[in-house]
Chain A
Amino acid sequence: MLLFAARRLMLAVLVALTVSVICFFLLHLSGDLAQALAGSSSSASDVEAVRKAYGLDRPIIVQYLGWASRVLTGDLGQSYFFKEPVAKLIAERLPVTMVLGVCALVFAVALALPLGVVAALRPNSWIDRTALTISVLGQALPSFWFALMLIIVFGLTLRWLPISGSGTWQHLVLPSIALGYYATPAIMRLTRAGMIEVLASDYIRTARAKGLRAPSVLFKHALRNAVIPVVALAAVQFGFMLGGSIVIETVFALHGIGYLAWESIARADFPIVQAIVLILASVYVVLTFLADILNAFLDPRLRVG
């Protein structure tokens, strides 16, 4: 178990490192950072001055090593625009994104899990077809458009909920739905497929042969085994949600790191962009690592070796 965890952890670190390399080079090679910083109307000498001032004239390898060694000491660099440490700017905004992500995940699971279970209990019934329709429609819904439609319907027409900013829990309702619905089809389908498979298994027949009541068969014996793959999926989906929060935070003017990333891209504030990419990748990697550990906890067969 420890060996397994250690190996997974090493892989996780390696993945995060590789992502940082790829993204660093991608950003530095896909355009002229100095030009983007100085603005398109600035003169050639201005651009050169910016290039020198931010150290963008050095070889890219040197730039990366400098950046990476500072990151290892916890220094994510200095924002070009705010003239403040990137770490501080991100620390201020990360909680908003995390809370949004957790709410969205809770929404997605709370909707998808019961739907998946009920659909599995009555395959091809109207409720199964309804759940399947929801999942097919949900997959095709553009998230930013869905967010805007939520604003139009619940914010402007019905005036039930605030449409932008943050502060109260009501501010989180629409963004959580807009962000979370995207994960529901996958979670629902996996729950449904898992439940159908488990319900047909021999050990469910054994549980019924013992005379256990239906809820006990369903929740203790079936669901426990069916959710094992769902846990891993939910962790991955949570990672995707944090990445997708850039769109939702922009629509709802929620000042999380997604919004910060969007602003910073527009301002060519690349130390911030670079740091946020690294943080999101690390969070994803940590999440999948935790999902593996949780899986081993849920499935005794994975514990040995």
Chain B
Amino acid sequence: MTLSTALAEAEARIAEPSPGALLRRRIFGHGGFLFGAIVVGLVLATALLAPLLAPHDPYAQDLTRRVVNPIWHADGTWRNPLGTDQLGRDYLSRLIYGARISLLIGVATMAISGAIGSALGVAAGYFGGRVDMAITFLITTRLAMPVVLVALAVVALAGGSLKVVILVLGFLLWDRFAVVTRSATMQVRNLDYIDAARAAGCSDLRVLASEILPNILNPLIVVATLEMAHAILLEAALSFLGLGVQPPLPSWGLMISEAKEYMFFSPWLIAVPGAALFLLVLAVNLLGDGVRDIAAPENRN
């Protein structure tokens, strides 16, 4: 007997609350999860209600009111709380509409890469052998490809639009899905009840859908949030480099790119959309970490 098992046993002997109470306690006791859920919820609401929330048209230019300072500067006014950009567009309105782009890219990319990655990963983990070898090779190859460079080049050739960026990122970011679902499937696959299901005459497809998928859902959700954050960051980087979403769309990355020239005198033009990006990505990551901790507290790192 090792000391750690003895401690675990001893701890288990002390009375535990009911599972439901425990789950509630875990959710509400988990600051990161709460923060993530609230911020993601707020950004989602902002994106959905953008036309109601935005004080101005995000595309309306006013060249007489360019780079107006935000409210925390002495000459800022409530007319443009976050000031205006180099074309006199209201920065707050652009920021609000920008949430739509980031969320859309994040969710759509995650859906595409998730479908590709988990299909490959589950197939590799479930069938093993040569299928596994081939898919593992595919994953290795994908990891060796410089994502930013390939994405930039393809988007540059195919033309920068939201649709192209989503497709390119979706087809590039499936690796982590594949890696995680592969190992999760392998673990589940060797459990007795999978053998039992097969012995009972269930087809492979049936076993996959009804026995394996529900059991790998947890790691899948965690990876999905991480990859969503990853996609949001990459879109911003591509747009920042001028080869992602094209003007005049208010992508946060593009806003930072357009503000570069004004870095000297109006650093807030860069700070504001970057902070929004940072906050959203942080919230999505914390949400994912929270799901992992709450679903499997013993794996908390």
Interface, chain A (partner B; CB < 8 A): 11, 14-16, 18-19, 22-23, 26-27, 30-33, 36, 136-137, 139-145, 148-149, 151-152, 156, 189, 192-193, 200, 236, 239, 242-244, 246-247, 250, 258, 261-262, 265-266, 268, 270, 273, 276-277, 280-281, 284-285
Q: Is B85 an interface residue (CB 8 A)?
A: no
Closest A residue by C-beta to B145 = A19
Contact residues, B131-169 vs A (CB, 8 A): 137, 140-141, 143-150, 152-154, 156-159
Q: Is B233 an interface residue (CB 8 A)?
A: yes
Contact pick for B270, options A137, A141, A148, CB 8 Å: A148
Contact residues, B199-258 vs A (CB, 8 A): 229, 233, 236-237, 240-243, 253, 256
- 6 closest A-B pairs by beta carbon, nearest first, are A31-B157, A243-B146, A145-B274, A140-B282, A140-B281, A280-B146
Contacts of B270 in A (CB 8 A): 145, 148-149, 152
5 contacts between A and B (CB under 8 A): A11-B137, A15-B137, A136-B32, A144-B236, A262-B152
Contacts of B144 in A (CB 8 A): 15-16, 19, 239, 281, 284-285
Contacts of B274 in A (CB 8 A): 142, 145, 148-149
Q: Is the CB of A136 within 8 A of B149?
A: no
User: From DSSP, what is the main secondary structure of chain A's interface residues?
Assistant: helix
Q: Is the CB of B256 within 8 A of A145?
A: yes
How long is the Cα–Cα vector from A112 to B161 in the complex, in angstroms? 38
Minimum CB–CB distance for A242 against chain B, Å: 7
Q: Is the CB of A281 within 8 A of B148?
A: no
Q: Is the CB of A144 within 8 A of B237?
A: yes
Interface, chain B (partner A; CB < 8 A): 4, 32, 137, 140-141, 143-150, 152-154, 156-159, 229, 233, 236-237, 240-243, 253, 256, 260, 263-264, 267, 270-271, 274, 277-279, 281-282, 285-286, 289, 301
Contacts of B146 in A (CB 8 A): 242-243, 246, 277, 280-281, 284
Q: Is the CB of B141 within 8 A of A18?
A: yes
Given contacts A136-B286, A152-B267, A266-B243, contact A243 B137 (CB under 8 A): no
Minimum CB–CB distance for A188 against chain B, Å: 11
Q: Is the CB of A148 within 8 A of B263?
A: yes
Contacts of B143 in A (CB 8 A): 236, 284
How long is the Cα–Cα vector from A139 to B301 in the complex, in angstroms? 16
Q: Is the CB of B158 within 8 A of A265?
A: no
Q: Is the CB of A22 within 8 A of B154?
A: no
Contact pick for A15, options B140, B243, B289, CB 8 Å: B140
Q: Is the CB of A244 within 8 A of B32?
A: no
Closest A residue by C-beta to B32 = A136
Contacts of A285 in B (CB 8 A): 144
